Every structure is written in structure tokens, then in C-alpha cells.
Amino acid sequence: MTAQAKILTPAQQVAGVILDQLGARRFLAMTGARDMVATAKGLQFKLPANFATGGVNMVRVELDDSDTYSVIVGRFRALEFKEKARESLIYCDQLQAAFTRLTGLDTHL
């Protein structure tokens, strides 16, 4: 029996790296993040309703051309995304802190 490795697209690889930098499974457990989607530029996911500050229920983390990240938070309702806040030029070691600033949710204990 041979196990075949699943081949990931470049977008899926970038999304996986972003999730790892946010804290992977620990991040998912602490924030309740769900519905992960690999976008052309990064990772998008939903948060539980009324869990984060300011009514934020969706987050996008995008890899910029300068090899930094942009974190965009907002509210998704009735098939419309309304941006609430954005931080750009974030390095990978600052990603967890930026997420906490924008949502009020800790990524680890």
C-alpha cells in the first residue's frame, strides 16, 4: 500500500504557513476560528458571532509583495464584507500581536 501525498497549490501553502505563524491548532482552539479558506493572497476565516471586539466576525491575512502581511478585520453579513480595521507591513513574528490588537482575542494562554 502506497500513501499518496496531497499536492498543495501555492495559495494553499501560503495559507498553511500563515495558520502556522498564528499558532495552528492552539490558535483555532483559543479563537474559535472556522471556515478557513486559502485565498489568492493568503488566508481568510470566520470568528464566532459577537466574540471579538467591534462586531468583527471575519479576518483576512494577506501576504504582500514586500514579504510582510496585511491583517484585515471586518463584519460579514448578508453576503457583504464591511471592513472595520486594517494593519499593514506586519512581519511574521508580529502577526499574533496584530491579530490580538484588532480582535481583542488572545492566540495563546
Cα(44)–Cα(59) distance, integer angstroms: 6
Domain range annotation of the chain? 10-100
- Tens of pLDDT, residues 66-109: 999 999 999 999 999 999 999 999 999 999 999 999 999 999 88
- Tens of pLDDT, residues 86-97: 999 999 999 999
Task: Give the DSSP H/E element, type plus range, for residue 37.
Answer: strand 34-38
Q: How confident is the model over 21-33, as a mean pLDDT?
A: 95
Work out the pLDDT band at 1, boundaries 50, 70, 90: low
Q: Are 86 and 68 in contact (CB under 8 A)?
A: no
Q: pTM of the full predicted structure?
A: 0.90
